Amino acid sequence: MIKFKTLGQADVGGKRVLVRADLNVPVKDGRVTDDTRIVRLAPTITDLLMRGAKVIVLSHFDRPKGKRVPEMSLRPIVPALAKAIGHEVFFADDCIGEAAEKVVEALKPGQVALLENLRFHDGEEANDPKFVRALAELGDVYVNDAFSAAHRAHASTEGLAHMLPAYAGRQMQAELEALTAALEHPKKPVMAIVGGSKISSKLDVLNNLAAKVDVLVIGGGMANTFLNAQGINVGKSLCERDLADTARGILANAKRNKCEIFLPTDVVMAAGLKEGIDTAVCDVKKVPDDMMILDVGPATTLALKTKLNSCKTLLWNGPLGAFEIKPFNAATFDVAHHAAALTKAGTLVSVAGGGDTVAALNGAGVTDALSYVSTAGGAFLEWMEGKDLPGVKALG
């Protein structure tokens, strides 16, 4: 892991501290509907305010592509942020220039302001030096607490770290420490569960993990592609048949690295993906041509849980089945509850991340019971691929 300075090492008293956050949260009818990212940001802001900093929060929201789009304003975030930190939050109608400067200049130690959407300027995503300088002029210290945006080399995630004394925020620090513990310096044996619909979106993840973990569990639609590559009929299930050679290459890579690949031995199938439809369990080698595999079966689930009992570290990205629709959430929820119980017992370090994974864990009610659950999407995947993240590297 890259060595970086943490918030505790920063001298912030009376200083203007630019905090890069990720406030790209769900908003409906002008109200935040999921404040998870905001709540996780609160410890960093609270720490800075208690130490007498003037806190200036920077974030993107959606993809306005360098133009001012009213419905992509960060203004609706203000009430939720104020509630999370227990302080009034001032708002600037721009993130650079006179509007931002006026709000920042008025800040007193122990106060916080949120600046308008960074992506209203095309200089943000272009990492334009001029835009970086305009942001840097508003602060004395830079804190990055947005791991979920760390895979982008943007002005506020990478450029600013080279212009001001740079530190990792509390959330960024926790995320990096958890991910390092799970993959770079894990307690062995290590199991990774990788699910989802397509292997084409996770080729680098699978190959990187096959060289690093002891057991690689492949679930979701991805498993069908691997089964097909081994000559097993998957009926009318989601399957990337054109990637059979690729799947076999991943299997060979795992074998070279003595990584066990865990695939379903039985499955839950149905004629289509909808709630209330008739389902059946069958051996994975006996799926009829007119049926779809929509979840792993009970024997597979039991075998997975048994194998997990002997592991010390779990890394999880992606569901085992079509969890959004009952009863195809059964295996994912069952394994999630088991992982939570092992974590609570102190025998397992469990780290999970990715949008679908977080949604599944929320559905199972175990998000807070695992060691760490990342709200990052792309950044979490790129880290699993073994790539350097520009926003993290810049802190080193």
Residue tagged active-site, from 16, 37, 40, 54: 37
Residue 99 confidence (pLDDT) above 70: yes
Residues 134 and 232 in one domain: no
Helical (H) or strand (E) element with 384: helix 378-384
Residue 2 confidence (pLDDT) above 80: no
Residues 142 and 200 in one domain: no
Q: Are 375 and 358 in contact (CB under 8 A)?
A: yes
pTM over 0.75: yes
Residue tagged active-site, from 235, 249, 377, 378: 378
Given this model, what pLDDT does residue 25 score? 93
Residues 162 and 196 in one domain: no
Residue 1 confidence (pLDDT) above 70: no
Residues 329 and 256 in one domain: yes
Within-domain flag for 1: no
Residue tagged active-site, from 133, 198, 236, 305: 198
Q: Are 218 and 262 in contact (CB under 8 A)?
A: yes
Residues 249 and 108 in one domain: no
Please state the separation of Cα 217 from the chain's center in Å: 19
Active site residue 51: no
Within-domain flag for 179: no
**201 or 369: which carries more pLDDT confidence?**
369
The secondary structure of residue 140, as a DSSP letter, is S
Number of domains in the chain: 2
Residues 262 and 209 in one domain: yes
Within-domain flag for 15: yes
Within-domain flag for 208: yes
Active site residue 355: yes
Which residue among 130, 147, 171 closes a domain?
Answer: 171
Residue 147: CB atoms within 10 A of its CB come to 29
Q: What percent of the residues of the chain are helix, what percent strand, and what percent coil, each to the nearest 5? A: 45, 20, 40
Given this model, what pLDDT does residue 337 score? 98
Active site residue 198: yes
Within-domain flag for 390: no
Which residue among 140, 171, 202 closes a domain?
Answer: 171
Which of 149-163, 177-191, 258-272 is least confident?
177-191
Give the rounded percent of residues in the chain with a pLDDT score beyond 90. Answer: 89
Which of 141-145, 196-200, 272-276 is least confident?
196-200
Residue 351 confidence (pLDDT) above 90: yes
CA distances for 13 relative to 52, 58, 168, 283, 328, angstroms? 5, 19, 17, 65, 53
Sign of CA dihedral 254, 258, 262, 263: positive
Within-domain flag for 394: no
Q: Give mean pLDDT, residues 171-192.
A: 91
Residues 156 and 192 in one domain: no
Q: Which two tokens stand for residue 277?
A: 């439809």
Which residue among 120, 136, 171 closes a domain?
Answer: 171
Residue tagged active-site, from 110, 355, 363, 377: 355
Q: Give mean pLDDT, residues 121-140.
A: 98
Q: Are 381 and 345 in contact (CB under 8 A)?
A: no
Residues 68 and 163 in one domain: yes
Which of 106-110, 197-201, 357-361 is least confident?
197-201
CA distances for 183 relative to 337, 363, 376, 396, angstroms? 22, 26, 16, 19
Active site residue 54: no
Q: Give mean pLDDT, residues 117-128.
A: 98
Spatial neighbors of 24 by CB under 8 A, at least 6 apart, are: 37, 59, 60, 61, 62, 148
Domain containing residue 25: CATH number: 3.40.50.1260
Residue 191 confidence (pLDDT) above 90: yes
191 forms beta bridges with 215, 314
Residues 360 and 223 in one domain: yes
- Distance in angstroms (rounded) separating the CA atoms of residues 53 and 16: 6
Q: Are 356 and 329 in contact (CB under 8 A)?
A: no
Sign of CA dihedral 190, 197, 26, 359: negative
Strands, E assignment, 186-236: 190-194, 215-218
Residue 250: CB atoms within 10 A of its CB come to 24
Mean pLDDT rounded to a whole number for the chain: 95
Within-domain flag for 228: yes
Given this model, what pLDDT does residue 200 score? 87
Residues 149 and 195 in one domain: no
Residues 162 and 192 in one domain: no
Residues 368 and 279 in one domain: yes
Q: Which domain holds residue 215?
A: 186-384
- The model's confidence at residue 381, banded by pLDDT at 50, 70 and 90, is confident
Within-domain flag for 34: yes
Given this model, what pLDDT does residue 180 score? 87
